[in-house]
Chains A and B, each alone.
Chain A
Amino acid sequence: MSAERLEAPPLVDERSRSDSLVSPLPARSDFVLDVSNFSVVYGTGEHMVRAVNDISFTLRRSAVLGVAGESGSGKSTLVYAMTRLLRAPGLISGGVVNLNTTRSGDAGEETVNLVTASEKELRKIRWSHVSIVLQSALSALNPVLRVGRDFDEVLKTHRPDMTRAQRRERAAELVSSVGLNEDRLDRFPHELSGGQRQRIMIALALALDPELVIMDEPTTALDVVTQREIMNELQDLRARFDFAMIFITHDLSLLVEIADEIVVMYAGSIVERARANELYEAPRHPYTLGLLNSFPPMHGQRRELTGIPGSPPDLADLPTGCKFHSRCPYAMTRCRDEEPPLTSLGDSERSVACWLHVGGPGVSVPVELSRDATTKDRAHANGERP
């Protein structure tokens, strides 16, 4: 990518682009989740806080979308609201979340808008089409029940034809697929180690062969060794069960290994979206760069850990203009007054919400935000997945 192209990229408004993609839905079995102009607020009236702002993205079948951001960036709110699990005072204020519930063997195409779905429809969709893995498996498992009961209950609810023995067999098959012995099913959550618990949660999430599994920081509470093991197992499981995944974390270096595409969220909005390796190797948004500099890389050259100065903004009292400008080392006058739209860069696969990349008189993109993704690393990142 040349410097000239960076200074004057073609301006395409992200919203109109995704709208045109939404109205005629992509062809059957092409996407699993299509989110457009999705917004979430907390509270009402004067005290209303915008937690998720006008977010649009499409998740292809079997693909992995990484969602990165600091605490309070709205990444968890986004997925809980999408799946209608958000509790009061959280409220979906607009948008469409189309879930493709077509199974590979089905005749027609069927999508459900989760935002308007009834409780009854949601109950049918939950777990059989979308399942979720939470950060703390200890609190996500009912402390007074043997973990086998969780499997039994899910199967009993969604597959009423299965006999008790069949359910048990399926549960045993699932736990062995995450490398655990069947006898773990007879244990209580507190009798298992953190890694075992999280594996149980992952096995449970796959119980009904869902098209989409949401992982909300599944490895954050684990030590790095277990974290690594679980990440590897997830890759194997994806090859085997073929599910799409939304993976939420603040650890970009972890995300780059598993995600096909990454969106970076800041203060409830997407600030950058790109293919995983491109985002990792060649960040375009100053915030992405800051996130990358906060974690040691898993592979490749060491870089100095600097972190991001300041703290995430108070959603109830957001700064004007670009919400990141007060912490941004490259902030210009324009950043204080106008909010940059999410704009496609030359190559339509990536977009960024930053005035630096829109150009203008006297604006030049700093070298650390205009690097090219090296072919070597791209090969590496892609080489892990067929």
Chain B
Amino acid sequence: MRMILRRLGLYALTAWVAISVNFLLPRLMPGNPIQNLIGRLQGQVTSNEIRAIRLSFGFGVNQGLVAQYFTYVSQLFHGNLGVSITLGASVSSILRASVPWTVGLIGLSTIISFAIGTFAGAMLGWTRGSRFDSFIPTATFFQAVPYFFLATVMLLIFGSDLHWFPVLGAYSQSVTPGWNWAFLSSVVRYGELPVISIVLSSIAGWMLGMRNMMITMIGEDFVLMAVAKGLPRRKVIMHAARNAVLPSIANLSLAIGLVVSGALLVELVFNYPGVGDLLLQAVLNEDYPLIQGIFLVITLTVLAANLIADFVYLALDPRTRTEAAL
């Protein structure tokens, strides 16, 4: 229990550091981002917009750095991340609109890829040296092909040519967004091809990692003991897999942390309305409040994912509990 609290404290500290860095970065940059921006807009900004820009950076009226910092943090806790320069809307409302798409698409793909890859890897490890080993080069091939190319080819063949999957966007133009069946089924339908492409390009890693760990575990005495105990094969495999999966769980936490940010190519190819696409636009337009907001969300997601993974790991591997308590 004490250890869990300590971990939570550590994460809170990390989050605070991340928030502070996020606050300080624009202020440490050479030049003044606000002047850059106004310059880029060639004076075609209203004084209201300038005020919005200043506020979004935490530049209150004649506040010192410390006071600005406290304003910034208190605004954060109220969910106020400032106003986007290019889109005119508040950053938090923009993020609310795009984060669910990314989390849904990439998160789901990552979990599907992890589940199938790990299961297949466990089986491949158990039957090592059999004809099933030929799966591995096939899977590695799809991972080796640049994702951009793979996704484009899939889009062209299965979307544009064969019309097996709808293309472009997250849902059909003919449905109204909301909690209705037509919309939700359309979302699933439009998500299929992106999900398949992501799974295809990332499954080899899970598979190979699990297979190799499985082969290592099979050499362990406790697996030999499981056989000696006359346990059914399924249970013997479980003894090995239960231990082999631990490194994959650690990798999963890293992968989930990257869910929010790692979607740029997918969203570009499939024209999907997610955070990756948003970040690209924000960077191209030097939309600082939006960039800051996205960075903050990414940082907090990575932290949250790591926190969850930490606790899952503690639950799965009792050895980490004592080592951490030392």
The reply on A219 being an interface residue by CB < 8 A is no
Fill in one digit per residue for A116-159: 1 if any B CB lies within 8 Å of its CB, else 0.
00000011111110011010100111111100000001100110
Most buried by A among B231, B232, B235: B231
Complex contacts, A125 vs chain B, CB 8 Å: 230
Given the complex of chains A and B, what is the CA–CA distance between A153 and B230 in angstroms?
A: 10
B 217-244 contacts with A by CB, 8 A: 220-222, 224-232, 235, 239, 242-243
B 227-270 contacts with A by CB, 8 A: 227-232, 235, 239, 242-243, 246
Given the complex of chains A and B, what is the CA–CA distance between A139 and B319 in angstroms?
A: 13
Complex contacts, B229 vs chain A, CB 8 Å: 126-127, 131, 153-154, 157
Complex contacts, B239 vs chain A, CB 8 Å: 142
A 132-190 contacts with B by CB, 8 A: 132, 134, 136, 139-145, 153-154, 157-158, 188, 190
Complex contacts, A85 vs chain B, CB 8 Å: 224, 227-228
Distance (whole angstroms) from the CB of B244 to the closest CB of chain A: 11
Distance (whole angstroms) from the CB of B225 to the closest CB of chain A: 5
A190→B227 contact, CB < 8 A: no
The reply on A109 being an interface residue by CB < 8 A is no
Contacts A123-B230, A123-B232, A157-B230; A141 near B222 (Cβ below 8 A): yes
Determine chain B's interface SS by DSSP, over half rule: helix
A144→B242 contact, CB < 8 A: yes
The reply on B322 being an interface residue by CB < 8 A is yes
Given the complex of chains A and B, what is the CA–CA distance between A16 and B313 in angstroms?
A: 60
The reply on A191 being an interface residue by CB < 8 A is yes
Contacts A139-B221, A143-B319; A124 near B230 (Cβ below 8 A): yes
A157→B231 contact, CB < 8 A: yes
B232→A157 contact, CB < 8 A: yes
- Interface bin, chain A: 20 to 34
Most buried by B among A83, A124, A127, A143: A143
Q: Which residue of A lies closest to B224 (CB)?
A: A85
B222→A126 contact, CB < 8 A: no
Most buried by B among A123, A132, A142: A142
Distance (whole angstroms) from the CB of B232 to the closest CB of chain A: 7
Q: Which residue of A lies closest to B228 (CB)?
A: A132
B242→A153 contact, CB < 8 A: no
Q: Which residue of B lies closest to A122 (CB)?
A: B230
Complex contacts, B232 vs chain A, CB 8 Å: 123, 157
B224→A128 contact, CB < 8 A: no
- Interface bin, chain B: 20 to 34
The reply on B192 being an interface residue by CB < 8 A is no
Contacts A139-B221, A153-B235; A144 near B316 (Cβ below 8 A): yes
Contacts A126-B230, A158-B230, A190-B318; A134 near B243 (Cβ below 8 A): no
Fill in one digit per residue for B85-122: 1 if any A CB lies within 8 Å of its CB, else 0.
00000000000000000000000000000000000000
Partner of B322 from A87, A139, A190 at Cβ < 8 Å = A190
Given the complex of chains A and B, what is the CA–CA distance between A7 and B182 in angstroms?
A: 100
B221→A136 contact, CB < 8 A: yes
The reply on B317 being an interface residue by CB < 8 A is yes
Distance (whole angstroms) from the CB of A329 to the closest CB of chain B: 38
B228→A83 contact, CB < 8 A: yes
Given the complex of chains A and B, what is the CA–CA distance between A127 and B229 in angstroms?
A: 5
B227→A144 contact, CB < 8 A: no
Given the complex of chains A and B, what is the CA–CA distance between A87 and B129 in angstroms?
A: 14
Distance (whole angstroms) from the CB of A117 to the closest CB of chain B: 12
Q: Which residue of B lies closest to A191 (CB)?
A: B322
Complex contacts, A139 vs chain B, CB 8 Å: 220-222
Given the complex of chains A and B, what is the CA–CA distance between A188 and B319 in angstroms?
A: 8
Complex contacts, A128 vs chain B, CB 8 Å: 230
Most buried by A among B220, B224, B229: B229
Given the complex of chains A and B, what is the CA–CA distance between A144 and B246 in angstroms?
A: 10
Given the complex of chains A and B, what is the CA–CA distance between A158 and B221 in angstroms?
A: 21
A140→B230 contact, CB < 8 A: no
B222→A140 contact, CB < 8 A: yes
B 179-231 contacts with A by CB, 8 A: 220-222, 224-231
Contacts A136-B221, A139-B222; A127 near B228 (Cβ below 8 A): yes
Distance (whole angstroms) from the CB of B309 to the closest CB of chain A: 16
Given the complex of chains A and B, what is the CA–CA distance between A154 and B230 in angstroms?
A: 8
Given the complex of chains A and B, what is the CA–CA distance between A144 and B316 in angstroms?
A: 7
Given the complex of chains A and B, what is the CA–CA distance between A158 and B79 in angstroms?
A: 60
Q: Which residue of B lies closest to A138 (CB)?
A: B221
Distance (whole angstroms) from the CB of B59 to the closest CB of chain A: 53
Distance (whole angstroms) from the CB of A44 to the closest CB of chain B: 15
Given the complex of chains A and B, what is the CA–CA distance between A144 and B220 in angstroms?
A: 13
Q: Which residue of A lies closest to B246 (CB)?
A: A144
Q: Which residue of A lies closest to B323 (CB)?
A: A190
Complex contacts, A87 vs chain B, CB 8 Å: 224
Fill in one digit per residue for B304-326: 1 if any A CB lies within 8 Å of its CB, else 0.
00000000000011110010000
Given the complex of chains A and B, what is the CA–CA distance between A132 and B316 in angstroms?
A: 28
B225→A144 contact, CB < 8 A: no
Complex contacts, B318 vs chain A, CB 8 Å: 143-144, 188, 190-191
Partner of A190 from B222, B225, B246, B319 at Cβ < 8 Å = B319
Partner of B243 from A83, A127, A143 at Cβ < 8 Å = A143
Counting from the closest, the 7 A-B pairs by CB-CB distance are A126-B230, A139-B221, A188-B318, A140-B221, A123-B230, A142-B222, A127-B229
Q: Can you name 25 A-B residue pairings with CB atoms under 8 Å?
A: A83-B228, A85-B228, A123-B230, A123-B232, A126-B227, A126-B228, A127-B228, A128-B230, A132-B228, A134-B224, A134-B225, A139-B220, A139-B221, A140-B221, A140-B225, A141-B222, A141-B225, A142-B243, A143-B318, A144-B316, A144-B319, A154-B231, A157-B230, A188-B319, A190-B318
16 more contacts with CB within 8 A, not counting A127-B230, A140-B221, A143-B318, are A83-B228, A122-B230, A124-B230, A127-B229, A132-B228, A134-B221, A134-B225, A139-B220, A144-B243, A144-B319, A157-B229, A157-B231, A157-B235, A188-B318, A190-B322, A191-B318
